[in-house]
Amino acid sequence: MTRIDSATRKAQITEAAMEILSEGGCKDLVMVKIAKRIGITDAALYKHFKTKNDMLLFMLERIEETMVTRLIENTNKYSDSKEKLRSILSYQFNFIQKNKSIPRILFSEALQFKDDKLKNKINNILTSYKKYLIKILQTAQNNGNIRPDLNSEAVAIIFMGMIQSTVILWNLMNYSFSLKDREAVLWEEFSKIIE
């Protein structure tokens, strides 16, 4: 049997954990269940992550890498600030549709974390995201693309909340509607606010 390298095994563990989170939430995220899902022993899993919190922190780092870093790379293709905002909305909904556990980790399970490292990591992810949105909004204001009288931080929070509330409803309604379908309507209404 071929031995799997540590990075690959960590990725497998993380994927299994994210699947379990999307199916049942944090209460179902048990090391034994994760090990069983990928066909390894508990002891083998603990070689990679000493605690559940270590694994969650690693998952959050992966989310930060994929969600925030790639989002920035994706939006840098656009020169127009409004196009950047639209691409962020589209990217977020596409990313979340493919990674259903992310909202649980960032929005609901985060409130249950008692570990300061986990709370701080989530706070850092959301703060970085908000700062990036503020920068785009301020550029749009300076270029005359959106209303100059708007508070850019408040608009960034509204933008984030628009995504969060839609995703929470989608989750509560058992993924019964397409985030992509909601995207167009939300963008149209958000545009009316900022123009």
Same domain as 59, residue 100: yes
Residue 100 has pLDDT above 90, yes or no: no
Residue 35 confidence class, pLDDT cut points 50, 70, 90: very high
Residue where one domain finishes, among candidates 50, 72, 89: 50
Q: For 101, which DSSP code?
A: H
Q: Which domain holds residue 123?
A: 51-194
Same domain as 112, residue 125: yes
pTM score, two decimals? Answer: 0.85
Same domain as 11, residue 34: yes
Domain with residue 124: its CATH number is 1.10.357.10
**What's the total number of domains in the chain?**
2
Q: Which of 48, 17, 15 is nearest to 34 (CA)?
A: 17
Residues 183 and 117: their CA atoms lie apart, in Å, by: 33
Residue 110 has pLDDT above 60, yes or no: no
Residue 170 confidence class, pLDDT cut points 50, 70, 90: very high
pLDDT (mean) for 41-67: 87
Residue 156 has pLDDT above 90, yes or no: yes
State the pLDDT at residue 188: 96
Residues 193 and 152: their CA atoms lie apart, in Å, by: 12
The segment with the largest mean pLDDT, out of 65-69, 142-146, 172-176, is 142-146
Kindly report, residue by residue over 123-154, the tens digit of the pLDDT: 888 899 999 999 999 999 999 999 999 999 99
Same domain as 91, residue 46: no
Same domain as 148, residue 56: yes
Q: Are 58 and 49 in contact (CB under 8 A)?
A: yes
